Amino acid sequence: MALAAATALGTAGTASASAVGTATIGSFSYELHGVGVQVPVGCFLTHRIEGSGRRITDQFAGVDCVGIAATFSRFCNWRIDFTYTDTDNRTYRTSRGATHNSCSGDPLRHAAPQVLPKYGKACARFYVNGRQRASQCHSVVK
């Protein structure tokens, strides 16, 4: 996934065949059971979607870290949501992921195949301790 993150950094695509996009997760800190946790620069949210038009045959999102961040980054109380918006940017569906109370260095979520009722965007949103830390979207077009 690191290679996909490096080659697709900051890109967005359509769901006409397949698309991979990556968003940078900036450095941040949060508190866990009274202890401060620092996440350094070097982590990315990668979102892959496959399908045609409104039919999504495969979709996943995950976090990958490189360099020093790969050694020291652990995400606790994390979740990944998938949201879908129409062409007027109105969210009509949210698939909320489970909150993982355990700590992980490589959060990952896979979504079941589906047919969207509208064209617009499909987004992956990464949350840590209830705060959104990154999002990455793809256009869903004919």
pLDDT of residue 138: 96
Q: How is 42-88 classified by DSSP, letter by letter?
A: -EEEEEEEEEETTEEEEEEEEEEE-THHHHH--EEEEEEEEEEEETT
Number of domains observed in the structure of the chain: 1
Q: Tens digits of per-residue pLDDT, 81-130?
A: 999 999 999 999 999 999 999 888 999 999 999 999 999 999 999 999 99
Range of the domain at 62: 2-140
pLDDT in tens, 45-90: 999 999 999 999 999 999 999 998 988 888 999 999 999 999 999 9
The domain that holds 45 is classified in CATH as 2.60.40
Buried b (16+ CB within 10 A) or exposed e, 79-93: bbbbbbbbeeeeeee
